[in-house]
Structure 1
Amino acid sequence: MIKQQHKLTKHQSKFLQRANGKIIFGSVIATFIATSPYLFYLYESVPKTKVWNTFLFTYHSGFYENANTAMWILTGKIIPLLFLILWFWTCRHWWYHALLVPIAMYLYQIIALFNDDNQFIDELGLIYLVPVMAVIIPSIYLIRAQMFNKLNDADKSLQELEDEFKIKPTGLWGKIRQYF
């Protein structure tokens, strides 16, 4: 038997590199989704003390009185935020910009979590989201309106094309030919 060596063309090589990259990226996303319950429960490894010392930083819990509670609230905000960001970057729908509103909300809540003066992180968040919503909601409406106009224009041009090809029936034989 003679061994045949297959040499990949430049195009095939690039295709395989892209396919491998997509497989790796998809594997990372799938691993993140599968491990998300474990990521949420990371707060259980945080001590129930006012000061939490790690080799990277020292966290002083203000309002929550222990670091464990603060990290429980943080994981309750950061895991949905990560899922929304993942959805935003992988979404192929035209309305994906609407995801920026809840992303902004979670970001605001996470920032407010670390502000010791702010005891009510979920109360005034909607007020701070008004500028974000004022930009995103009209933008989404304009995108939708443009899509609607393009679809209607396509329907009109298809109707004009159909009208152009229609045979104007003249007499009995003309009507019969119209159906065949």
Structure 2
Amino acid sequence: MIDKSRNKKAKRKIWIESTLVFFVAISPFIYKIYDYLPENPEATISFLGMTIDNNGFPDVSFYVWFLLSKFIPLYLLIFWFLTSKNWWYHIILIPIAMYAFQLFEVIFDADDNIDTENIWWLLPICMVVIPFVYFIRIKLYDRYVHGIDLEAMEAELHSLKQKRLKQQNAEVKKTDLPKVEYRSLSEWLNEELSTQKLAQRFKKIKKGLKAIAFFKF
């Protein structure tokens, strides 16, 4: 069963990677599609049930060329982001967002100006991605250049805190126990035969004798 599941995973991985390689390999040919489109300003084309016109450009060929100049880098960057194993691969999200916003602006914006204000849409993404990548860079630099392992330091600090808590709990338990005083025989005799103890006992005996004599008479 384990071998079958491994074989399925391996086949699926090979199939996905082969698909990615195929689209990367044909990207130059996809980009050259605009050469085969009509340059007539009034011409339109149908693709997957959609009608594409010039959308404000001189002709359909010009419009498709502009779209493909954004779309081809976009999906290549997405493939790079999905397959990259470098520590800084999150920074690829910034150019991905840039091309995505540019495509959105060209297709859906009614303004005649293009590639103008979409740079401002990237600021929130940059404010999140750049500090995140810089933080990873600092951790790696401290670990492999300065030899500072932050995770090991955190684990050590955690263990020290646990030891300190155990010591505090032990001290609290010790203070809660009743104190038992141990005395030697000599100390007990000294205390019992002290003048104060003897005087107290003689007083009790005297009071007892007086009470007996008063009762007889």
TM-score, normalization by structure 1: 0.72
Q: CA deviation at 1:128?
A: 2.1
8 Å CA contact 1:43–1:71 kept in 2: the answer is yes
Structure-2 residue corresponding to 1:178 = none
**1:96-135 alignment, distance < 5 Å:** 96-115=89-108, 117-135=110-128
Structure-1 residue corresponding to 2:18 = 27
The runs of 4+ residues in structure 1 deviating greater than 4 Å are none
Question: Which sections of structure 2, spanning at least 5 residues, go unmatched?
Answer: 153-217
Q: Say how many residue pairs are matched.
A: 147
The C-alpha deviation readout for 1:86-105, integer Å capped at 9, x for no partner, is: 00000011111100100011
Question: Hey, what's the Cα distance between the residues in 2 that align with 1:25 and 1:131?
Answer: 32
Which moves more between the two structures, 26-35 or 83-92? 26-35
Question: Hey, what's the Cα distance between the residues in 1 that align with 2:137 and 2:38?
Answer: 49
Q: CA deviation at 1:132?
A: 1.3
8 Å CA contact 2:105–2:118 kept in 1: the answer is no
Amino acid at match of 1:21: R
Question: Hey, what's the Cα distance between the residues in 2 that align with 1:115 and 1:38?
Answer: 26
Q: What's the % identity of the aligned pairs?
A: 30
Question: Which sections of structure 1, spanning at least 5 residues, go unmatched?
Answer: 1-9, 158-180
8 Å CA contact 2:91–2:129 kept in 1: the answer is yes
Higher RCO structure, 1 or 2 (CA under 8 Å, sep 6+): 1
8 Å CA contact 2:55–2:63 kept in 1: the answer is no
Q: CA deviation at 1:147?
A: 2.9
8 Å CA contact 1:46–1:68 kept in 2: the answer is yes
Structure-2 residue corresponding to 1:36 = 27
Structure-1 residue corresponding to 2:44 = 52
CA gap of 1:127–1:36, structure 2 versus 1, over 3 A, is: same
Amino acid at match of 2:9: R
Q: CA RMSD in A?
A: 2.2
TM-score, normalization by structure 2: 0.61
